[in-house]
Amino acid sequence: MPASRLDEAREILRRTFGHAEFRGRQAEVIAEILGGRSAMAVLPTGGGKSVCYQIPAMMRPGLGLVVSPLIALMADQVAGLQQSGVSAARLDSTGEAWERADTWEKIEAGTLDLLYISPEGLMQPSMLERLSRTPLALIAIDEAHCVSQWGHDFRPEYRMLGRLADIFPKVPRLAVTATADARTRDDIRAELKLEESAEFVASFARPELALSAERKRGNAHKRVAELVAARPDRSGVIYAGSRDGTEKLAELLRSEGVPAHAYHAGLEKGLRAQRLETFLEADAAVMVATIAFGMGVDKPDVRYVIHADPPASIEAYWQEIGRAGRDGDPAEGITLYGASDMAWAYRRIDGREVDDGVKQVQSRKVRQLYTMLDGTTCRAAGVRRYFGEEGVDACGVCDLCLGTVETIDATEAAQKALSAAHRMGGRFGRGRLVEHLLGKTKEPSSFEAGLTTFGIGKEFSPTGWRDLIDQLLFDGLLREDPNDGRPLVGLGDIEGVKAVYRGERRVALRQGLEEHDPTTRSGKPRKKTRASSAATAIGPHDQPLFEALRAWRRDEAHRQHLPPYVIFHDRTLAEIAVKKPGGLATLAAINGVGEGKLERYGEAVLAVLRGMDA
């Protein structure tokens, strides 16, 4: 491809989107599509996947089709494009008939560059028939991991997209996703018939994200409230495992004065939309949600994601945590997890009606997740290696990089605990096992009192034993049967247990990481926290101007019924506040200010700047 085509692409990036240079692997992906070839691109969240198809769609003759799983995602993207002066639309079931007619008119006149559509919408015979008479620039398949059973968000309707290769053999197709391990990537390529196409996998590094995780102790909701209280005036997302959990947690937070709302699929549609809008438009708000909330929520200034209950896999973890810090400013991902969460995860997989191969893969994903969460080495590095990255360095900002996990040898105590679980026949829960080891069972039966393990564990406190039992559960040496909410503890991996009995396998008990918690248990943020909003990064001097710009943006967004970040990101406003451009030409040089936005908002922004001078 002649270099001039890529120069042209760079020019569009600069003029339309306001970015000075391509990032990561964007240029390579764009060059491939401009050359008329299909490709697959795996770029991390916030890595700039969309311009990879938007720019070629604008340059190549014909309509660019973007297949996307969620209406919210499409709506945001289309609004953003229109703000930048790009001709874009979406076709979905929520639209009015006249809107659809209007869109088709533009398609047939050849004036539309990008059309967003759902997979089931696209694959309708009448739609395919109509599109077969339309010149197509490309077909982009967003969130392509949805096509794979090995991924974490399989959607059967994505399977149909494989047929696109035969229906539109001459149209380059681009599959993009943020999270896919090697196996999922292979599967995506096979399903979408991209075996022969180039694959571009960017680094999964998210250096702005400080990760941490802690075992649940006591009341997990109280702990979450503590973490939130230590992060005032910032936007955050909290994931909880159940609808009920989101409601209760949101209520607790509201009672403490936090502007929090629950969000889950059980809410009435209008209420859900309203809460989403409130969250997106707020400068600081907290959403307590099930995983129904997520894909397509592109709020760039989310400063933390807290998992009140752990995610389902490392892919899900990376994607959910990845919603923090999309603007590139420091953000945090904090996960609370427990041995019983792990037991439930296994249990759910067991109960699924899928074949054993799939169950095995899913169980392995659970194991890998907890190995990372309860591990002792850099979390970010672990995740990146999981995604197949090589030569990965420690991140330097996660709890495990900042602190060291102290371990003590607890092999002998482990032998006692395993032996007790064995003798008690797996018929009792963790609390009872602890009492047994300490000899504190109230009114023990003569059977229990007669066991050699009764009262042999004086070396640990009750908390110490609970920690050790958790550790043995995470290690797979013990196994928990959820037993409908009253979990029972029994022996796990028998070979492993035997090795511990024989002293061949040592058990290292993890000591607390408390000093290095993102928030100490007193609720104070740790001193070294890097997480600060763009607002605090710009220095007190420019703060009033930044706030004035945000206020202007809030009004403007309100007037147009748009989320504020569709107009300008915080980042862009911060840069404006610091550089204080004196005219349109200098304003145009700010990252995120393209020609369309310059024309729309340039004068208004300059007026805000002048207003602060006066």
The entry of Zn ion, ligand ADP, none near residue 398 (CB within 5 to 8 angstroms by kind) is Zn ion
Contact flag: residue 325 with ligand ADP (CB under 6 A): no
Contact flag: residue 334 with Zn ion (CB under 5 A): no
Residue nearest to ligand ADP (CB): 48
Among 48, 236, 382, 564, the residue binding ligand ADP under the rule CB under 6 A is 48
| Region of 109-117, 175-183, 270-278, 375-383 interacting with Zn ion (CB under 5 A) | 375-383
Among 398, 410, 489, 577, the residue binding Zn ion under the rule CB under 5 A is 398
539: how many CB neighbours lie within 10 A of its CB? 12
Among 16, 38, 50, 335, the residue binding ligand ADP under the rule CB under 6 A is 50
d(CA 367, CA 163): 35
Least distance from ligand ADP to the Cβ atom of residue 283, Å: 17
Could you say which residues in the range 419-478 bind ligand ADP, by CB under 6 A? none
541: how many CB neighbours lie within 10 A of its CB? 9
Least distance from Zn ion to the Cβ atom of residue 367, Å: 21
| Region of 40-48, 107-115, 188-196, 256-264 interacting with ligand ADP (CB under 6 A) | 40-48
| Region of 16-24, 61-69, 95-103, 256-264 interacting with ligand ADP (CB under 6 A) | 16-24
For residue 364, give Cα distances in angstroms to 268, 343, 370.
36, 13, 10
> Of the two residues 26 and 38, which places its CB atom closer to ligand ADP in the complex?
26
- CB-based burial label for 343 (10 Å; 0-12, 13-18, 19+): buried
Contact flag: residue 45 with ligand ADP (CB under 6 A): yes
Amino acid at 521: R
> Of the two residues 360 and 376, which places its CB atom closer to Zn ion in the complex?
376
> Of the two residues 160 and 205, which places its CB atom closer to ligand ADP in the complex?
205
d(CA 426, CA 220): 26
SS3 12: helix
Contact flag: residue 236 with ligand ADP (CB under 6 A): no
> Of the two residues 49 and 479, which places its CB atom closer to ligand ADP in the complex?
49
Among 377, 299, 307, 327, which residue's Cα sits nearest to residue 206?
327
Least distance from ligand ADP to the Cβ atom of residue 203, Å: 13
Strands 488-491 and 478-481 come out as antiparallel
d(CA 609, CA 537): 19
Amino acid at 462: P
The entry of Zn ion, ligand ADP, none near residue 45 (CB within 5 to 8 angstroms by kind) is ligand ADP
| Region of 48-56, 64-72, 91-99, 129-137 interacting with ligand ADP (CB under 6 A) | 48-56
- Helices (H) then strands (E): counts for the chain: 28, 17
Among 395, 472, 489, 545, the residue binding Zn ion under the rule CB under 5 A is 395
The secondary element (H helix, E strand) that includes residue 280 is helix 269-281
Among 45, 529, 80, which residue's Cα sits nearest to residue 326?
45
Amino acid at 191: E
> Of the two residues 49 and 231, which places its CB atom closer to ligand ADP in the complex?
49
Residues 6+ positions from 482 with CB-CB distance below 8 Å: 340, 343, 344, 347
**Which residues bind to Zn ion, rule: CB under 5 A?**
378, 380, 394-395, 398, 401
**Which residues bind to ligand ADP, rule: CB under 6 A?**
17, 19, 21-23, 26, 43, 45-51, 298, 569
